């Protein structure tokens, strides 16, 4: 498990500590990929509806499930939705 002290880090960084990993390798459970594809489609739907902050939060969720791999390009979507939601400090904290 990842633990962080909120005094050492910003509130947003302390809140973004993944507790679960999702295997997305070639030999993984097929439902893992289906779940991620559904999340990616839902992120796109949220963005089209103008729910940019919620889309950004779902991007963080998907990145947290598999941070080493990014087969769906969610990092590109995260910065887009962070800027559209005017969450500049959150984006800068995430990049650091």
* pLDDT of 3 over the 50 cut: no
Nearest to 47 by CA among 4, 11, 85: 85
Which pLDDT score, from 0 to 100, does residue 55 have?
A: 95
Segments making up each domain of the chain, as ranges: 25-95
* pLDDT tens sequence across 23-80: 777 777 888 888 889 999 999 999 999 999 999 999 988 888 887 788 888 988 998 9
How far is Cα 45 from Cα 53, in angstroms, rounded to an integer?
A: 13
| pTM greater than 0.75 | no
Which pLDDT score, from 0 to 100, does residue 93 have?
A: 84
């Amino acid at each position: 498990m990842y633990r962080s002290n909120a005094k050492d880090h910003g509130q947003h960084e302390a809140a973004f500590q993944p507790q679960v990993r999702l295997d997305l390798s070639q030999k993984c459970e097929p439902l893992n990929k289906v779940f991620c594809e559904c999340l990616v489609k839902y992120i796109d739907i949220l963005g089209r509806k103008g729910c940019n902050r919620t889309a950004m939060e779902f991007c963080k969720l998907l990145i947290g499930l598999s941070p080493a791999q990014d087969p769906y390009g969610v990092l590109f979507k995260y910065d887009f939705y962070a800027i559209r939601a005017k969450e500049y400090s959150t984006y800068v904290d995430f990049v650091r």
